[in-house]
Amino acid sequence: MLWLVGMGISGAESIPMGGAAALRGADVIYAEQFTSPMPRTASTDTAGGLTALARDIVGGGGGGGGGSSSRSRAEIRDAKRWMVEDGARILKEAESRNVVLLSYGDPLVATTHAELLCRAARQGIGTRVIHASSAPPSVVGQCGLHHYKMGRMATVMRDPKSMTTPYYTIYKNLVERCHTMLLLEYDREGTELDGPGDFFLEPADALRMLLDAEEGQQRGVVYGDTYAIVASRVGFGDRQQRIVAGKVSSLVARVGFGSPPHSVIIPGRLHFTEADALATLAECVDPPPRADGDSARPQGEEEDAPWRGGPNAPARIAEQMVAKYAPVIRRSIEEVSARCAGDSAMSGILENARLYVNDAEDFIRKEGHGDVAVLSIGYADGLADALRLLKGLETGDRADEAKAEL
């Protein structure tokens, strides 16, 4: 029998009663704690983590889950990451023994545990899951945000080369006005640079890496005015828990966010109740943005420009492309038009090109028509380039750049 038991996020006090019973009835307990450090409690102290917690629970009496002695018979083992990911040893023992995999938070938040559950089921091994509180929904609630507005999560790793995934995860969520939770790298076994011991990626470093990614990607996703929330040690007790919110520029300049682990939320459009709750529950270096600021345009944009960018509300890529290339293509069309005076056939083609540009901007204003807008602006550019070549005009770097993006 394989039990997947979550202990919650607050140490011994958050483990479900069913989980404690499963531990006391176990033959073998694998304590897995590579996803997050264990909160300090009176019984688990500092380094013992889940292993100490398991030992404290099973040593507290029998009963539950099959145990009947005054002291549990369980063997308690520290489960390394490789052991859980491989899973062979755990599953082999579960064929004939009562095996518990104890983990921080809820056991099925980690995809590795879900895969282990599926492998056990396929091998005919009995399974049981004891769910518990988990950090992601707890962080969202503690910040006063609405759960139904959360988008896909991502992890920010120390390696800058890995930033493409979190950057575009934030982008996709923000264009849908959803919030993004970023989990920051935690390595229980340390790093080559820092040596052995727990490694935590600092929030300010993660935000700097996002700003660096913005310089390379240029999609208007994360910049100085972007609003962000840093949540530290949520569920570890009021004295340890800390939530700080503000513009990225303010948070990057800040020294210290309390003790790890940390997570970062890049909110999308905040409902007024979310903004009010965040202002109440968090230490706000800058006030939370109100909903009426979501549609702000960059300075200099016309009132009816097909652009919906602004802090925490980037324009979709199709919107960015049309806004960038429509005026350039219009100038190109007019330049060719000057060479085609009196040629009715050419004038008709040029008029089609102008209409394609107009259509592209119209499609951008209609939700869900971004792909058609890109096609329209591409047709317009193709017609303009063909006529320029026919009239002996250079297409230039502008056309090459446009084609590369379109």
Q: Give residue-wise pLDDT tens across range 245-286.
A: 999 999 999 877 888 888 999 999 899 999 999 999 999 999
**Distance between CA atoms of residues 229 and 322, nearest Å:** 32
Residue 103, strand partner residues: 6, 32
* DSSP label of 124: T
What's the pTM value of the predicted model, to 2 decimals?
0.75
What is the rounded average pLDDT for all residues in the chain? Answer: 82
**Distance between CA atoms of residues 72 and 88, nearest Å:** 25
Q: Look at 194 and 306; give whichever has higher pLDDT.
A: 194
Which parts of 10-126 are beta strand (E)?
Answer: 28-32, 75-79, 99-103
Q: What Rg do the C-alpha atoms of the chain give, in angstroms?
A: 28
**Distance between CA atoms of residues 135 and 381, nearest Å:** 49
Express each pLDDT in 37-66 by its tens digit. 655 544 444 345 677 778 878 874 433 344
**Distance between CA atoms of residues 259 and 280, nearest Å:** 22
53, exposed or middle or buried, with CB in 10 Å at 0-12, 13-18, 19+? buried
Express each pLDDT in 22-38 by its tens digit. 999 999 999 887 766 65
